[in-house]
């Protein structure tokens, strides 16, 4: 055997002759000290290779001492390891084997295990460190230094994966065996033969594959590692990592081996925050089944160390009412509970809690209901001195527009409507404006709008008075007594809009709107349906009574418009709850809908209602997807895509993104297929979308084959086109969860814009608007600006609207200039100008104090109602001309309301009295996995609360005098208390 080894060594030497020369040259340069060390090591190895077994132990011990005493630097390997590397194989395969069992052999195993670090580049030695570790004396894992532990960690993971794979194979084989036995029992069948053949083939393949693995065992010194062994090693490694600032490695090990409980055990007070930060940041990159476990571990660790706030964040992210309620009830500190109530209010999460159990129940319910949102927002407005209402012209600044139309005194209904929207958006939440509520000309402006425009104009009152249920409804109420149906409808919608995001125990929105959901007058009906959806958006179980009103309408026959809006509103209300009644009735209505209704633009909204129910539910949404199989095309593909995208919304799930992209490439393939003339109908069938190929009745193809094929082809194209727009939004929806995914999505969208079909191109800007909502990054604006001049009007329209979404509530000057230029460019196209005006209004949303982004709490949580609202608008935007910007349908824009939130930081004392403290606001820095206590913000400025926070900004207190009661990110409403350790 030794000869063999020598031979191989020689061969290697021969191979790497050139390199060897270099090496020799280097060796010649060795310092005296090194040369001495090398000689010593060589001598020791030689001694081990000799047959005198008495010398083994001292030799090994001196080896050990030499290795341990060497200090390592960051840039070079320890000298002893470097010099011993050529001897690794001989030590492993000769010396270790010949030493008799006993402490010496174990010592030798230790040495081999350490030396194996130098040999990981050879596959057969890959996990040697680990294997010989188990053969060794099992002394303190950290004795050999950090690098050694890291190698062990890595090899543990490798080994664990191999085991899992082997087990899976084993299980498969087992199952197959069982099946075969069953079948043999049930008797022979002619059909069975085929299957058997297949399986036999499979099996033989499997066995081939497995053999090397079994060989692997003996090669590694006859060691078979068991799980228990691995776990016991983990038990040693994890504390080592934890105490040596290497939490990330400990966590990786735990996550890979599924030993999260161990992590929980070994996390300490000192590092739990970093551990949890790492855990929660891992979540988007984990496979579906792991992420709940990981989040839950983080939650439990937080709880263990009394960090109620962050534990609640995790519970909310897990979307588990039980956990949230439990934690809310078990929070010991009433002040912290108030802070949690603020968080719950922001997330719009309905909690079951016992009102009688707390002294401050009224206050808590007020916080959870966001009842004071309006009041606090006004305080912010006063602080920033922006209460003065603005006119649309203050936003347009049309004297700066490149070309000016002398429209002069002529009223354009569309432009006046745009001005109404802009007025509503800009003065949103401030309760004052100059068009609708000025004392003397209340109705004048309304009458300068036309028909449905009047409705929308009145409804913008809802935006103006947003969140002000007590004071605002009165101002809307009087319009309910008027005769004009459009005005009345607008007032109804405004009532719903005012209540968005605010709970009130009297449920005025439901009380006022419920009577009109079945009204014969189309506009009243529409207003009531949309209004209810907006008012109860994302309310989940809190909106049960509203759902009860809407749900019967979904299945009502003969009123597709009403049914679609009811379905959408139900979906918005029940976002992410998988509400069984809603899903089943929408499914039923999709099944029963007459074919004509399915292709109408409204069918998209209908399907979206179903999809919204699945929001963020991942696998739990599978039954809904299964239910869709029976629905006929083209709605099936569309609904499937929407449901899948919603189910995996914000998860960053790469597989889902890939499947969506696959669908997007579908059309191109079909065209290539069409190139082969006379491709049979069967071929067409096989080329149909992967999601759609199942369940199509074969009868369709019989009859006149050619006609049917052609027919099918066109219908298939329509189907694909129909679903593709949704798929583009789906990519955005899935990817919007985390930053890496966002960047990847941006690149993908760039390609789609360049190479995509028209229907894809039209959707891409909207998708960008979704990913970058209220986050006007320059690269996005540039891209959108380019396509806002596109010759395809629909692309231009969606780009313009997307620009508005990207800049929503930012007052971004660059964007404002771009839009002004666009207003000039599109001055002659009323529809495009309308879109530009809307975008301008959105950019200045709430005079730059509001945001549309559904994510909050340091981008960790997503408000489902807000996301649902955004999606409703975007999906409607897939058909700009017939839906979102069409006259009479522009009121769908009010679905944006649930997404409107102030982007502020306001501080309160324990009695919830507003308090002004200095805070530093700066760009957030990613600190995940960094050692020590890195700064979390950069380029900060110091302000006094209340203060605005832009997207990607973070705040920290600039005073030691106070501290937040919880360690939640400083966003929204934050309760502070005196720092007990503060010394002035």
Partner 1 sequence: MSSLTVHVKWQKQKFSDVPVDTSQPPELFKATLYSLSGVPPDRQKVMVKGAVLPDDSWSGIALKPGATVMLLGSAEALPEAPATPPVKFVEDMDESELAKAMDLPPGLNNLGNTCYMNATLQCLRSVPELRSILSKNRLAGLGGAAASGGGPEVLVSAMSNLFAALDKSGNAVSPHVFLHLMHAAFPQFATKAEGGVFQQQDANECWVELVRCLQSRLPISSLTRPQLPNLAKTTEAGGPTDVSFTDRYLTGSMTCRLTCQECGPEAEPEVNLVETFSQLSCFIDKDVKYLHTGLTNAMKSSLTKRCDRLGRDAVYSKQSKITRLPAYLTVQFVRFYYKEKEQVNAKVLKDVKFSLTLDIYQLCSEELQARLKPVREQLRRMDEWLALQSGAAKRRPGGPAVAQGAEQATTADTGTNNASWPPSLPPVDPGAPPPPAYYFGDDPGSNASGQYMLQAVLTHQGRSSSSGHYLAWVRKADQPANANPEEDVCHWADILRLSGGGDWHCAYLLLYGPRQLDRDYSSLPPPTDASASQGGAAGTN
Positions in the binding site for partner 1 (CB under 8 A): 399, 404-416, 441-444, 447-448, 450, 470-471, 473-474, 477-479, 481-482, 484, 504-508, 510-512, 514-515, 545, 830
Nearer to partner 1, 461 or 905 (CB): 461
Cis peptide before 569 (omega within 30 of 0): no
Nearer to partner 1, 410 or 677 (CB): 410
Exposure of 341 by Cβ count < 10 A (0-12 exposed, 13-18 middle, 19+ buried)?
A: buried
Nearer to partner 1, 441 or 967 (CB): 441
Nearer to partner 1, 99 or 458 (CB): 458
CB of 375 to partner 1, least distance (A): 10
Tell me the C-alpha to C-alpha distance, in Å, between residue 235 and each of 128, 164, 260: 19, 19, 11
Q: Which residues contact 704 (CB under 8 A, 6 or more apart)?
A: none
Is the alpha carbon torsion for 584, 585, 589, 590 positive or negative? negative
Edge-to-edge strand list for the sheet holding 937-944: 937-944, 918-924, 953-957
CB of 366 to partner 1, least distance (A): 12
User: Are 574 and 586 spatial neighbours (Cβ–Cβ below 8 Å)?
Assistant: no
- Rounded CA separation 84/199 (Å): 50
For every residue of 105-171, which 3-state class applies, written as one string?
A: HHHHHHHHHHHHHHHCCCHHHCCHHHHHHHHCCCCCHHHHCHHHHHHHHHHHHHHHHHHHHHHHHHH
User: Are 682 and 628 spatial neighbours (Cβ–Cβ below 8 Å)?
Assistant: no
Nearer to partner 1, 405 or 721 (CB): 405
Specify the residue for token string 């996550």: 255
Specify the residue for token string 């006004």: 378
Tell me the C-alpha to C-alpha distance, in Å, between residue 963 and each of 346, 405, 794, 956, 960: 21, 56, 51, 10, 7
CB of 593 to partner 1, least distance (A): 30
- Name beta bridge partners: 922: 954
CB of 403 to partner 1, least distance (A): 8
E strands present in 446-515 = none
CB of 357 to partner 1, least distance (A): 18
CB of 794 to partner 1, least distance (A): 21
Nearer to partner 1, 39 or 515 (CB): 515
Nearer to partner 1, 408 or 678 (CB): 408
Specify the residue for token string 């919304």: 649
- Coil vs helix vs strand at 981: coil
- Rounded CA separation 542/336 (Å): 23
CB of 477 to partner 1, least distance (A): 5
> What DSSP state is assigned to residue 846?
G
CB of 164 to partner 1, least distance (A): 53
- Coil vs helix vs strand at 913: coil
CB of 547 to partner 1, least distance (A): 12
Nearer to partner 1, 444 or 882 (CB): 444
Nearer to partner 1, 549 or 667 (CB): 549
Nearer to partner 1, 266 or 448 (CB): 448
User: Are 829 and 794 spatial neighbours (Cβ–Cβ below 8 Å)?
Assistant: no
CB of 746 to partner 1, least distance (A): 38
User: Are 724 and 759 spatial neighbours (Cβ–Cβ below 8 Å)?
Assistant: yes
Task: Label residue 189 left, alpha or beta by phi (over 0 means left) and psi (-120 to 50 means alpha).
Answer: beta
- Rounded CA separation 371/354 (Å): 19
Nearer to partner 1, 369 or 949 (CB): 369
Nearer to partner 1, 685 or 830 (CB): 830
Nearer to partner 1, 58 or 471 (CB): 471
Nearer to partner 1, 417 or 590 (CB): 417
The closest of 452, 468, 456 to 419, measured between CA atoms, is: 456
CB of 900 to partner 1, least distance (A): 22
β-strand 918-924 against 953-957: which pairing, if any?
A: antiparallel
Tell me the C-alpha to C-alpha distance, in Å, between residue 564 and each of 538, 608, 712, 728: 18, 9, 26, 22
CB of 644 to partner 1, least distance (A): 34
CB of 473 to partner 1, least distance (A): 5
862 phi and psi, to 5 degrees? -125, 130
CB of 434 to partner 1, least distance (A): 14
Residues 723, 729, 730: CA angle, nearest 5 degrees: 80
């Amino acid at each position: 055997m030794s000869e063999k080894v020598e031979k191989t060594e020689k061969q290697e030497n021969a191979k790497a002759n050139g390199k060897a020369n270099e090496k020799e040259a280097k060796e010649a340069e060795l310092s005296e000290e090194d040369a001495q060390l090398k000689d010593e090591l060589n001598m020791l190895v030689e001694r081990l290779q000799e047959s005198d077994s008495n010398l083994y132990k001292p030799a090994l011990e001196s080896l050990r001492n030499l290795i341990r005493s060497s200090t390592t630097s960051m840039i070079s390997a320890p000298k002893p390891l470097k010099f011993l590397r050529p001897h690794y194989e001989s030590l492993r395969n000769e010396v270790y084997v010949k030493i008799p069992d006993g402490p010496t052999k174990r010592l030798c195993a230790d040495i081999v295990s350490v030396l194996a670090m130098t040999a990981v580049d050879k596959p057969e030695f890959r996990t040697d460190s680990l294997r010989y570790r188990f053969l060794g004396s099992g002394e303190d894992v950290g004795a050999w230094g950090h690098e050694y532990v890291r190698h062990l960690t890595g090899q543990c993971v490798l080994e664990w994966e191999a085991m899992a794979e082997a087990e899976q194979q084993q299980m498969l084989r087992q199952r197959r065996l069982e099946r075969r036995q069953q079948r043999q029992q049930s008797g022979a069948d002619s059909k069975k033969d085929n299957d058997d053949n297949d399986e036999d083939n499979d099996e033989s393949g499997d066995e081939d594959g497995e053999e090397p693995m079994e060989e692997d065992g003996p090669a590694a010194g006859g060691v078979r590692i068991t799980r228990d062994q691995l776990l016991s090693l983990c038990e040693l490694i994890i504390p080592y990592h934890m105490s040596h600032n290497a939490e990330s490695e400990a966590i990786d090990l735990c996550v890979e081996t599924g030993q999260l409980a161990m992590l929980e055990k070994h996390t300490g007070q000192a590092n739990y925050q970093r551990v949890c930060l790492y855990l929660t940041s891992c979540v988007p990159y984990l496979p579906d089944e792991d992420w709940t476990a990981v989040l839950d571990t983080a939650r439990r660790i937080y709880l263990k160390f009394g960090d109620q706030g962050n534990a609640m964040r995790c519970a909310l992210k897990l979307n588990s009412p039980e956990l949230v309620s439990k934690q809310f009830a078990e929070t010991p500190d009433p002040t912290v509970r108030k802070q949690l109530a603020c968080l719950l209010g922001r997330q719009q999460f309905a909690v079951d809690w016992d009102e009688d159990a707390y002294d401050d129940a009224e206050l808590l319910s007020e916080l959870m209901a966001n009842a004071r949102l309006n009041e606090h927002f006004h305080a912010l407005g006063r602080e920033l001195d922006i209460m003065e209402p603005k006119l649309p012209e203050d936003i347009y600044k049309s004297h700066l527009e490149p070309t000016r139309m002398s429209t002069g005194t002529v009223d354009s209904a569309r432009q006046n409507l745009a001005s109404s929207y802009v007025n509503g958006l800009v003065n949103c939440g401030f309760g004052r404006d100059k068009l609708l509520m000025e004392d003397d000309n209340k109705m004048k402006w309304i009458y300068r709008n036309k028909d449905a425009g009047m409705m929308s104009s009145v409804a913008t009152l809802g935006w103006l008075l947003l969140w002000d249920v007590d004071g605002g409804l009165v101002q809307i109420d009087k319009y309910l007594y008027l005769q004009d149906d459009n005005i009345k409808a607008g007032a109804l919608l405004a009532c719903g809009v005012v209540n968005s995001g605010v709970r009130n125990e009297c449920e005025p929105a439901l009380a006022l709107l419920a009577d009109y959901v079945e009204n014969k007058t189309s506009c009243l009906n529409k207003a009531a349906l949309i209004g209810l959806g907006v008012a109860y958006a994302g309310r989940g179980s809190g909106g049960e009574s509203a759902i009860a009103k809407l749900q019967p309408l979904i299945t009502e026959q003969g009123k597709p418009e009403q049914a679609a809006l009811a379905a959408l509103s139900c979906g918005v209300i029940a976002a992410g709850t998988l509400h069984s009644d809603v899903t089943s009735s929408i499914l039923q209505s999709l099944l029963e809908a007459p074919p004509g209704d399915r292709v109408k633009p409204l069918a998209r909204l209908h399907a979206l209602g179903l999809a919204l129910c699945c929001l963020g539910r991942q696998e739990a949404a599978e039954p809904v997807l299964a239910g869709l199989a029976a629905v006929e095309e083209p709605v099936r593909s569309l609904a499937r895509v929407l449901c899948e995208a919603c189910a995996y919304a914000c998860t960053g799930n790469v597989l889902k993104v890939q499947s969506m992209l696959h669908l997007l490439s579908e059309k191109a393939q079909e065209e290539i297929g069409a190139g082969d003339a006379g491709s049979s109908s069967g071929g067409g069938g096989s080329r149909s979308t992967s999601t759609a190929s199942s369940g199509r009745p074969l009868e369709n193809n019989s009859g006149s084959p050619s006609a049917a094929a052609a027919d099918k082809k066109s219908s298939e194209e329509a189907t694909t086109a129909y679903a593709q727009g949704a798929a583009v939004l789906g990519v955005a929806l899935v990817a919007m969860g985390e930053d890496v995914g966002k960047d990847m999505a941006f690149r993908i969208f760039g390609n789609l814009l360049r190479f995509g079909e028209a229907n894809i191109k039209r959707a891409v800007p909207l998708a960008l608007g979704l990913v970058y909502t209220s986050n006007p990054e320059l690269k996005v604006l540039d891209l959108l600006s380019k396509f806002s001049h596109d010759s395809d009007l629909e692309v231009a329209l969606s780009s313009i609207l997307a620009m508005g979404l990207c800049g929503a509530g930012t007052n971004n000057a660059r964007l404002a200039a771009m839009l002004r230029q666009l207003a000039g460019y599109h001055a002659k196209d009323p529809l495009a100008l309308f879109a530009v005006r809307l975008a301008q209004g959105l950019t200045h949303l709430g005079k730059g104090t509001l945001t549309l982004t559904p994510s909050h709490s340091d981008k960790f949580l997503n408000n489902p109602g807000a996301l649902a609202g955004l999606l409703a608008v975007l999906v409607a935007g897939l058909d700009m001309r017939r839906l979102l910007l069409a006259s009479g349908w522009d009121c769908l824009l009010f679905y944006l309301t649930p997404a409107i939130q102030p982007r502020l930081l306001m501080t309160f004392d324990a009695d919830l009295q507003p308090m002004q403290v200095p805070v530093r606001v700066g760009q957030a820095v990613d600190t995940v996995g960094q050692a020590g206590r890195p700064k979390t913000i950069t380029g900060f400025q110091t302000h006094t609360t209340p203060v605005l926070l832009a997207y990607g900004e973070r705040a920290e207190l600039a005073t030691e005098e106070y501290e937040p009661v919880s360690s939640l990110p400083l966003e929204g409403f934050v309760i502070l208390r005196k720092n007990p350790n503060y010394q002035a």
